[in-house]
Structure 1
């Protein structure tokens, strides 16, 4: 399960095994400290005192059911068709509960993921950006509608009036595992936004907020509507008030849990998001305060750089010491997309080689059908060392070390295309083709709001169950976030550098 992204440090688990049959990875990976999970923006941000492992198990429910194109006109037509089907999935995921009102967000995963009608804030920010890549009136209307829904959530929180957004919301009715019905759509009967309390998705992460702010700022540019800029400024202000720190490593902290307790960690990925958000706010408002905040976030990110092996560490647990493992993929790719610096672009090569995976049916615990294979990258260095003999979490399957994380594979493809170095386009082309094959063949028969999806529409989050190393997993369920990132990569749209 997931909501968004963001890595930091956290308690280590003892069930990680550094087995001799793990893939061969060098360039600094083998020198890292013992791998263990860490809190993530994708980890639940519920009330203090609830353990992440217990919440992850509860959220999982019962047992989880789980050829390259050329540059010819046929290949281009195939890619256009794949993009059209991806847009069709995003539309279906947004329209799963139309009988509960026009004001709505997009369900993040298909029903089979057992997260019911959960709509993660991060996924909906991505959906806004992806709808805009269509360059159609329908895509524009959907993006604006989702932007207005985020503003509604910001202005109608059941507890706070400070500009925050929660980790996730409910967008349709369901009966929870304990038998208690959740009857409302996105807007509750009392007019408040329907926060995802059942799973503990009640906290607020800086990274989620940053992505929502990026989406709103993009809408402000595309529409000229002041309300979207005002919402993005409120987000930036909330982050400054609740995330700013003067600790030695600086930057911005993780956010707050559901009890509004500030979390002590700082994430490289979150601060990368802020480089993008604060930069956009500086340009749109003309206020120099945002340039200073952008510089503060960027300085933190640059302190996470490992110059010898050429990758970025995950962040810090205490603001003093760098957390050196696990090393996630998106701190390598998003940094390039946001920083636009050749000095750090070697992080893409690290991700492309050290996190590379090839999933096929003969891999241990693979769920890929016979005769199919998918290339890409996995979530983190810990994913390559996952214990294949134990479930990822209670009620979940055992991991495939070679499971492809398609969202991250799309990050990498887009970043390679942005860098445009020798061989980058060819590698990106293969990665995008792999994602398009996955959309074609994986996740069949899945639904949103019990409604059948368009055929071959929507990218699954992973080719097979994979352990992120951060306390949660990814599975072959069609996913708004993965589908949106595919569209950004396919259309060469960099959301982190306006």
Structure 2
């Protein structure tokens, strides 16, 4: 099945965005006896070492796809995705951390330097904020002049600033500051932390931090974003020795606890007005379950991983309607959210002529990798087997899917596609079988036991 170009809206702009492998441990069998996460790097399995090396080379090559020197960003999706050379800040933060974890400091610093450039060369703002996305090819407007600015992705409406994107960029710069000792990275990450606290702190309703300064979303509060802020501010506390950041992190986590669904063992996605919890049936996402564990590892919320593994499990095969797989290919993993499994048959994805059917769901590889990291970190009975199965699926995706796709006109191998087939998320956007920097970075984390929320 050929995939037409699409312009999927990033999930962070909304409320939160071969051969069949042998039967291993189904995701639904994960159990939760006592155990404690250590947040220490786990050994990379021998079978993953060559695959990880290929993934890291992919991230480096995409970073260099348009420019090989100077500050630069990685284009998030392949050329045929319909998103052109757009480089999402979230994806680049992940790529920076993955490259740094793998020892590629040069490419990590190239991305970090681009984030610093964007902070100090916005065409409108002077408060160190970052846009949600920039152009990779034409990143520097007016290059070589006194009026250089960072070319942000206004074509897709991504002119706002979202707290989650800012937090991930802050985490990435904090990791760089810690690894390199370069003062500019420390200053850059602190500027981001101050912007978040000064512009989005809320005492109203559910508390926490608001979505940011994005059109029509300023009153929203995202569980995902508050988890990001919690983890980020704890890094700042450790980086600076300033306990003020610890208190601010606690404020973000307090919001997260207020959206916990104790009856069913998972976190709600957030709030549309900052006061009332969004309990829309189709908007129960995976990432807030996995990230809650990675950020805090609080045993009282460990059931969120089991809810995600059991309720969002999915299998894609060529006989499934609208599958992009062929021949004997088959892949298991998880979906983006509950709505991915219960799609309205009257809707389309990204304005494409594609109407998914109920229970017609592809595999979201970024989410599969996130769940792998969380399960490896948690270490309960059954977690290691479930994580190993997910890693097998991710290696299959790297080996078999996305062949021949290009970045900046050049073929780049070793990456992971966003989804095995077109996927509706339940949040009014979709994922497709396009090579994706974010999914690839999360695979590196999954295979190497890297928790990006904690210092490397």
| Correspondences of 1:256-295 after superposition (within 5 Å) | 256-257=213-214, 263-295=218-250
| Correspondences of 1:155-194 after superposition (within 5 Å) | 155-172=120-137, 184-189=138-143, 190-194=147-151
RMSD: 1.9
1:396 to partner: Cα distance = 5.1
Q: 1:384 aligns with which of 333, 341, 354?
A: 341
Q: 2:386 aligns with which of 424, 427, 434?
A: 427
**Which residue of 1 is the match for residue 325 of structure 2?**
368
Q: 1:87 aligns with which of 45, 50, 56?
A: 56
**Which residue of 2 is the match for residue 46 of structure 1?**
none
CA distance in 2, matches of 1:396, 1:478: 21
User: Any conservation in 2 of the 1:68–1:430 contact (CA below 8 Å)?
Assistant: no
1:132 aligns with 2:91: no
| Correspondences of 1:185-334 after superposition (within 5 Å) | 185-189=139-143, 190-257=147-214, 263-325=218-280, 326-334=283-291
CA shift digits 1:46-83 (9 cap, x unpaired): xxxxxxxxxxxxxxxxxxxxx2699xxxx954421111
CA 398–443 in structure 1, closer or farther in 2 if over 3 Å, else same? farther
CA 69–224 in structure 1, closer or farther in 2 if over 3 Å, else same? farther
CA shift digits 1:134-186 (9 cap, x unpaired): 13xxx1111111111101100111110101000000111xxxxxxxxxxx344
1:388 to partner: Cα distance = 4.6
1:150 aligns with 2:115: yes
Q: 1:418 aligns with which of 374, 377, 380?
A: 377
Gaps of 5+ in 2: 1-6, 25-43
CA shift digits 1:361-399 (9 cap, x unpaired): 111211111211111100001110013564213135333
- Three-state SS of the structure 1 residue aligned to 2:159 is coil
Which stretch shifts more, 387-396 or 364-373? 387-396
CA 482–186 in structure 1, closer or farther in 2 if over 3 Å, else same? farther
1:286 to partner: Cα distance = 1.5
User: Any conservation in 2 of the 1:104–1:186 contact (CA below 8 Å)?
Assistant: no
**Which residue of 1 is the match for residue 3 of structure 2?**
none
- Three-state SS of the structure 2 residue aligned to 1:376 is strand
Which stretch shifts more, 80-89 or 466-475? 80-89
1:451 aligns with 2:410: yes
CA distance in 2, matches of 1:426, 1:2: 33
1:341 aligns with 2:298: yes
Aligned length: 420
**Which residue of 2 is the match for residue 474 of structure 1?**
431
CA distance in 2, matches of 1:370, 1:418: 35
CA shift digits 1:9-63 (9 cap, x unpaired): xxxxxxxxxxxxxxxxxxxxxxxxxxxxxx3464xxxxxxxxxxxxxxxxxxxxx
**Which residue of 2 is the match for residue 141 of structure 1?**
106
User: Any conservation in 2 of the 1:383–1:466 contact (CA below 8 Å)?
Assistant: yes
**Which residue of 2 is the match for residue 123 of structure 1?**
91
1:111 aligns with 2:79: yes
User: Any conservation in 2 of the 1:111–1:117 contact (CA below 8 Å)?
Assistant: yes
TM (norm. structure 2) is: 0.88
1:407 to partner: Cα distance = 0.3
User: Any conservation in 2 of the 1:399–1:464 contact (CA below 8 Å)?
Assistant: no
| Correspondences of 1:349-364 after superposition (within 5 Å) | 349-364=306-321
CA 485–247 in structure 1, closer or farther in 2 if over 3 Å, else same? same
**Which residue of 2 is the match for residue 96 of structure 1?**
65
User: Any conservation in 1 of the 2:139–2:152 contact (CA below 8 Å)?
Assistant: no
CA distance in 2, matches of 1:88, 1:97: 15
CA shift digits 1:201-240 (9 cap, x unpaired): 2111000000000011111111111211111111111111
User: Any conservation in 1 of the 2:45–2:447 contact (CA below 8 Å)?
Assistant: no
CA distance in 1, matches of 2:113, 2:293: 30
CA 102–41 in structure 1, closer or farther in 2 if over 3 Å, else same? farther
1:324 to partner: Cα distance = 1.1
User: Any conservation in 2 of the 1:3–1:168 contact (CA below 8 Å)?
Assistant: no
CA 481–396 in structure 1, closer or farther in 2 if over 3 Å, else same? farther
- Three-state SS of the structure 2 residue aligned to 1:198 is helix
